[in-house]
Structure formats: C-alpha cells, structure tokens
Structure 1
C-alpha cells in the first residue's frame, strides 16, 4: 500500500506524526481483526520508532487507574462517614428517647407519689376533723368516776317542789366538774337554793345545770367543750353535804327539767 506525498514547500512528516498515525492505525486495525495482514508492514516500517512508553499513552492509562482508585476510595470513605453519622444519629435518638422515657416515668412516679401523699393528707385531715367533731359533740359524765347518789324525782321535804328535779353525783368538795357537752354558758353565779351554779345551753338546743359548786371557772358567754372543767364541786346552797347537783332542761329556767339519766344515756354516757 503506497501513499503519495505532495512536493514543493511541504515538509515530510516528522517522527511524532508518523508514530501517532502508526499507533492510531494499529489500534483501528486491531479492533477489526486484521492486524496480521495490514498492521505488520506498517509496524515493521516503524521498527526504529521509540518505545511505546515514550509516547505518553501508558502514562495516561496509569493516571486514569490511579484516579479511579482515588475516586473509589473517596466514595468508600464518604459512604463510611455517612454510615457512621447515621449510626451516631440513631444512637443519639435512642439515647434521647430513653432519657425522655426515663424522665416521663420519673414524672409519673412523682405525680403518683404526690397524689398518694395528698390523699393520705386529706384522709388524715378528714379523720382529724371527724375526731374533733365527735369530741365536740360527744358527751361525758360531769364527775369522772362518780355515781348517782340521789335519783331523779326522788320525793322529800328537802325540795321545794316536793321532788328532786335533777340527780346528785357523789363528790367531795373541790372535785373537778366538767361540761357534759359543748355549748355556751348562759348563767354563772349564785342560784339561790342551788348555791353557786352554772347553766349551759348545749349545741343541740337543750340546757344543763351544775349546782352547789365551791367555785366557778367560767363566765356568761363562754364557749365550752365537752369535758372542759367549769368549776369545783362543793356544798353551797340548800344541801346536807358536798355533792354535785345536775339537771337537764328544755330551757334555762327552773321547772323545765327532764330526766337527766335518760338525757345522758341518749348521748352515750353510761350512768
């Protein structure tokens, strides 16, 4: 195969041009499968050409492989970083969720404890109020550990009405006398045949009287509670000896008396 070259001012191709063309042709022929018939003469003609590694072709391939490896390594590193970041984010989210769950549980436990404490406190307050209410509404005997020495409606000349309008509790002079229940003092002083006496309007609207006292410890208008000391027993007024005269009445006045034993028993007092 011959090539015609123009004459004149055109110069012959230099070695680089020939070498480039030769390798280009060889590459093209190699892809067609006819390297044996066509490429051999051309390659023989260029036998004296420099080695292939001086053309830069191999160098270009090496650079391309290095770059690809670098890109792959960089991609792998980025993938690893992404995976690490994802794992860290997941761990952080899980830790946050656990912390929130723990905090929620603690809040719930605290709220439960506070609710329980509130219920217990309210129960204690209710119990205290109930106990106070019972105490205020409870009745006691006017003389502790005593007994009735003279009964209600006992007849005799000792009483102007012909019969006893109350009951007598055995008591030595100076024995503490208590209000049988809660109420307000409406009389405190000399009561004629009753000597020094106290009359209390009870919270249920009834009245109680305490006579023959040696001393009085309350005054009119005083609020008294069940079991509160109101004076000391004695022998003042129309008596034959020291004792406590006790009456239950529907009003504060003499003559409105009711059975004092039945009255006390109706309020839970054992006499």
Structure 2
C-alpha cells in the first residue's frame, strides 16, 4: 500500500472518530446543576408556544404494575427557555398510587434553556381501578391496575409542544367560540390567583392534543396604561364527559416588577396543580 493511500485512510479514520464524538455529545441527556438566581439566567424574548416539553418513560411499558407492586419511570423535562419551576410538583398522582422513592427537587429552581433534565421515581399501585397520572405539562398516563394480573399503561404526550402556535393549530383549529370559552376559563383562574385587572387582554389559543385527553394552549397578553404588563401561557384540559375545561399549568413572564421594567423576563411556572388528582 503506497504512502498516499495510508495517509488517506488515517484521515478518514480521524474524521469518523470526530463524527462519532459529536453524535454522542448531541444525544447526551444533560443533568446540570440547577440554578435559582434569576441574574444567572440567559433570558429570551417571549415566545408564543409552550415553553417546556415533558416525557415519561416507564419500565416495562406498556405493562403496568399489579396491585401492591411498584413501577419505575424517568421524568424528562426539556425547556426551550430558562424556566423557574418546582419539579416535585410536576408529577400529580391519583389516589391509586403513592411514591416509594424519587429524586424530584423540592426547591424552586431554574431549568436552563435547550437542555434536557431527567429525574427518577418509583411508585406503588395501592388500589385497583383505572387511574390517571399527570406529568407537567400535558402528559397523561391512563393506568389500569388489577389484583391478579399485570396492568396496562397508556401514555399521551403533547405533540409539537415546542413548536410555534401556528404549527400546533394544524392538529385542530380553535373556533372563535372555543377561544372565547377558553379565555373565560383562563380569566376565572387569574381572578382566583388575585392577578391585577388589566386594561386590555389579548388571547391566542391553539389545540395541543386531540386524543383521549384533549388539551389547549392559550397565550394571554395583559396590558395596563397601554404597556405590556404580563404574559401568560395556559395549558387547559377538556373533560370529554362533562365538556368542562380546567387549567392545568400556567406560565408567566412578568414585565412589570417592583424592581422595574424587564425587557426579557424569565419564564416562571406559577401553578402545576389544579386538578382533582392533586387533592
């Protein structure tokens, strides 16, 4: 083999090694240290879509636990903006399940944009029946628990969760009547939250999911004295049996703060619970 061919083969081997290294790094799930100081975050302009995507990965899926048996899962969060959130409140268990162990942080922390965080948990089935586990935001697990045989797990996640609202609308358009009803639901929630009364409000709603747990995403801009005061993003459920809607998650960008006007406020989740499962 002549010298030029040997050199070419060495260069090819180096290129392949570098390509594999880059691929491995891009697939790595990051679990960096969580930060809690707003000043340390790189903030973003407010965006018109759900600011974080969630996934649940169960061991043994799609089989579920027998009564009094445990099952483990990984809770994955991928924020597209810096986001203040209490991760431990993101998993809402029904009365048919209890936590056995988990590493969900209980303090309010900031998840950094464009990184993936994973948290482990083990839960135990303590009652038979059909139960719904909620993972914030927009992930539903219908769990069927039996006494004498393996159960069944069905998982629904929000598709296009980190895409712009106009793409999410391809799943299903929101009519003016629907948007008005969703806006009323959001405003009722804000009233209970003791938010200020805005001079003007603008709503833009999209369908996030049309599966067995229909969901909607609504962004709201609140203006006071002709100035943008707050921006909210609501994740809202619809009960197919009662046709009632319910706020699941609320994200807020506060432009007007006691310390002054914020051009690029950090997104903060101000609720994760708001369902019967959390009682």
Which is helix-richer, 1 or 2?
1
Higher relative contact order (CA 8 A, sep 6+): 2
Q: Which has more strand, going by share of residues?
A: 2
Fold-level match, TM-score > 0.5? no
What TM-score comes out, normalization by structure 2 length?
0.29
TM-score between both structures, scaled by the size of structure 1: 0.30
Q: Quick check: which has more Rg, 1 or 2?
A: 1
